[in-house]
Amino acid sequence: MHYEGTIIRPPSEAFSIILQVTVGCSYNKCTFCGAYKNTRFRVKSAADIEQDLQFAAQFCTRQKRIFLADGDALILPQDKLVDLLKKIRTFLPTARRVSLYANARAIRSKSIAQLSELKRLGLDRVYMGLESGSNEVLRRVVKGETAESMIEAAGRVNASGLFLSVTTLLGLGGRELSEVHARDSAETLNQMNPKQIAALTLMPLKGTELGSQYAAGLFHLPEKQEILNELKSLVSLLTLDRTMFHANHASNYLPIEGILQKDKQKILRAVDSALAGATALVPEHMRAL
């Protein structure tokens, strides 16, 4: 397989065939993200992609899921995505699921009819980064989106029948906007109505703008207890039903998961136990992105 740069995929795609169709991120301006800072965005050649498909058809026969990397493969023109999904069917006919990252801008570049066409051809799951439902937090981290624009994008995914998984980032509002970040994120997620929510915890990275702000004392990262309080506020305000909720990423202090609303009280009891010191938190040296 031809891989360039750092390959990032969601935890749930751990056993998927990773097919890199773009390199980097077409936006690449978020202050907290260091994934593609030194990578210029480009679309990989059709020849390289087909060669990787041939390799997967020969050596990855046990894997039934495919993840299209990098940061926002959905930004590809519709005709290229249609051709790619048809080739996947040809080379990997036993594949059950194709997934990808998509930013809100890429989603809004597609009509509901176009997204529905991609679903018919095998696209199943879209991973979208909300990060925060607070417009002030989004402005500060230069997300290039508003809560409203991401709600619109989510609506298109849902209307097309695709599975929507949304990520939120605990701690992104800093200590100053911690409460607003949790409250507005819950409100926005309720309107986005995703099938899955993944809550990660911010870890400021060297080489990023937010990392530099943190090092200079201009951004104050919430303490562990404050992060747990954010998590508690977020979950308590979510009114979604039958949505999977995960906070089991390696960045999290308290690994939890469940289904809303069925497991909501169990999740809240777990957070309360951690806040009371009765449940041990993941030590700093074991946290990672």
Query: Using one digit for the tens of pLDDT, what is the confidence trace for 5-58?
Result: 888 899 889 999 999 999 999 999 999 999 888 888 999 999 999 999 999 999
Whether the per-residue pLDDT at 289 is higher than 90: the answer is no
The interaxial angle of helices 112-120 and 78-91, nearest 10 deg, is: 10
- Which has the minimum average pLDDT: 29-43, 88-102, 154-168? 29-43
Reported as a pLDDT band with limits 50, 70 and 90, residue 124 is very high
Q: Any idea which residue has 């939890």 for tokens?
A: 256
Is the pLDDT at 138 greater than 90, yes or no?
A: yes
| Spatial separation of the C-alpha atoms in residues 229 and 170, rounded to whole Å | 10
Count Cβ atoms within 10 A of the Cβ of residue 72 and give its class: 0-12 exposed, 13-18 middle, 19 or more buried: buried
> Percent of the chain, pLDDT > 90?
93
β-pair partners for 34: none
Percent of the chain residues past pLDDT 70, beyond the cut: 100
Q: Are 274 and 228 in contact (CB under 8 A)?
A: yes
* 239 within a domain of the structure (yes/no): yes
User: Which residue reads 């009371």 in tokens?
Assistant: 276
Q: Is residue 63 part of a domain?
A: yes
pLDDT beyond 90 at 116: yes
pLDDT at 232: 98
What's the total number of domains in the chain?
Answer: 1
In a domain, 1, yes or no: no
| CA dist 256 → 72, 129, 179, 223 (Å) | 27, 19, 21, 19
Q: What integer pLDDT is reported at residue 39 of this predicted model?
A: 86
**Residue 164 forms beta bridges with which residues?**
126
Mean pLDDT of 82-93: 97
User: What whole-number distance in Å separates Cα of residue 110 and Cα of residue 156?
Assistant: 8
Q: What CATH number has the domain bearing residue 273? A: 3.20.20.70
Checking if the pLDDT of 92 tops 90, the result is yes
| pLDDT reported for residue 43 | 94
Inform me whether the pLDDT recorded for 72 exceeds 90.
no
* 255-281 per-position pLDDT tens digit: 999 999 999 999 999 999 999 999 999
- Of 87, 101, 95, the closest CA to residue 63 belongs to 95
Mean pLDDT of 69-81: 94
Identify whether 65 is part of a domain.
yes
Judging by DSSP bridges, how do beta strands 65-69 and 42-43 pair with one another? unpaired
Is 270 within the bounds of a domain?
yes
Q: Note whether residue 272 is domain-resident.
A: yes
Residue 35 domain-assigned (yes or no): yes
| Mean pLDDT taken over the chain | 96
For the entire predicted model, the pTM comes to 0.95
Mean pLDDT of 96-114: 97
Residue 201 DSSP SS3: strand
Q: Which domain holds residue 55?
A: 11-286
Contacts of 59 (CB under 8 A, 6+ apart): none
Residue 149: pLDDT band (50, 70, 90) is very high
Residue 74 lies in a domain: yes
As a whole number, mean pLDDT of residues 227-249 equals 97
Q: What is the pLDDT of residue 6?
A: 82
Q: CA 57 to CA 45: how far, in whole Å?
A: 19
Any alpha helices (H) in the chain, and if so which ranges? 46-59, 78-91, 104-108, 112-120, 135-140, 147-160, 178-192, 209-215, 224-237, 264-275
Residue-level pLDDT at 131: 98
Identity of residue 1: M
